[in-house]
Amino acid sequence: MDRIYNVRGGRGGDASLLVGVQKTALIDCGMAYCASDLIKNIKKVLGTRSLDYVFVSHSHYDHIGGIPYLKCEWPSLIVCGSEYDQRILRRSTALKTIRELSREASKIYAEGLFDDYNDDLLKIDSAVYDGDILDLGNLTIQVVETPGHTQGTLSFFVNRQILFASESTGTFNSSGLIIPTFIVSYSQSIESIKKCQALNPKFIYSPHYGLINPGETLNFWQKSLEAAERSRYFVLHYHDLGYSEEELLLEYEKVFRDEETRTEQPFNAFRINTRSMIRALLGRS
């Protein structure tokens, strides 16, 4: 644990720095608007050492926004992610959406200040797969495929003790609740939660929250399953009552979007994700 550092540059995204004896790696890299602060935080820890790898959990803008800026700072940096997300980031439509959401976030979090970037740098250099292990020297990162939030979502198991859980398992908040964040598949998320549970991690980092109190670890997975089922029941219940997709989305926001969630996720990003989730549950995706 003493070799893992929270280096996030600002609200809305995660960035955890792992410092091995031989190599260094970042797990996710937050949003574009705060990339300069992210880089400053990394340098405070690394000093003259370089950043060698970035592992991305999935290709949403709030997890990969810092990549182009990190690439400019450390040109030899290798970005690792799923093969699926590697393909996604080759699509002009995906790059356009990422840029639009990044600009929106800058207006919310940074008064519109936004340093432009080169789309050619926003890419995954090396595809990684379930079970792959990278040795940083006294620190190992094992790739765990956990689809459900997206098709290419990954979790990362460090030293077979510390799990950086993906959003397919939900997001924990300070009140002890877990907000379900499956978007493309409820059933995949359920399987991903069970897969993470079987790893029996000693410590869990939940996305958009951080390290969970060890006292919550044993109950985390059951709470994740229950939160996902509650969300599924909610959507199907209101659909059966005849609610339109738009009406259902508004009702869902009232129940599942608390103040803490609002500070971490801009409204348009929430609507895009929730609409996709509703359509997946109703078989419309």
Residues whose CB is less than 8 angstroms from the CB of residue 271 and which lie 6 or more positions away in sequence, other chains included: 249
pLDDT of amino acid 146: 98
Task: Tell me the one-letter amino acid at 78.
Answer: I
pLDDT of amino acid 284: 64
Residues whose CB is less than 8 angstroms from the CB of residue 103 and which lie 6 or more positions away in sequence, other chains included: 114
| Phi, psi dihedral angles at 81 (to 5 degrees) | -165, -175
Percentage of residues of the chain with pLDDT beyond 70: 99
Q: What is the pTM assigned to this prediction?
A: 0.94
* C-beta separation of 273 from 181 below 8 A: yes
Identify the weakest region by mean pLDDT among 86-95, 159-168, 172-181, 189-198. Answer: 172-181
What is the pLDDT averaged over residues 43-69? 97
Mean pLDDT of the chain: 94
In the predicted structure, residue 35 carries a pLDDT above the cut 90:
yes
Residue 264: which of 27, 34, 16 has the closest Cα? 34
CATH code for the domain of 100:
3.60.15.10
DSSP secondary-structure letter at 194?
Answer: H
Can you give the residue range of the structural domain that contains 89?
4-281
In the predicted structure, residue 154 carries a pLDDT above the cut 60:
yes
Identify the weakest region by mean pLDDT among 12-26, 146-160, 208-222. Answer: 208-222
3-21 pLDDT, tens digit per residue, is 999 999 999 889 999 999 9
pLDDT of amino acid 127: 98
212-241 pLDDT, tens digit per residue, is 998 888 899 999 999 999 999 999 999 999
What is the pLDDT averaged over residues 46-75? 97
DSSP secondary-structure letter at 212?
Answer: P
Residue 281: which of 241, 222, 247, 239 has the closest Cα? 239
In the predicted structure, residue 194 carries a pLDDT above the cut 60:
yes
Question: How many folded domains does the chain comprise?
Answer: 1
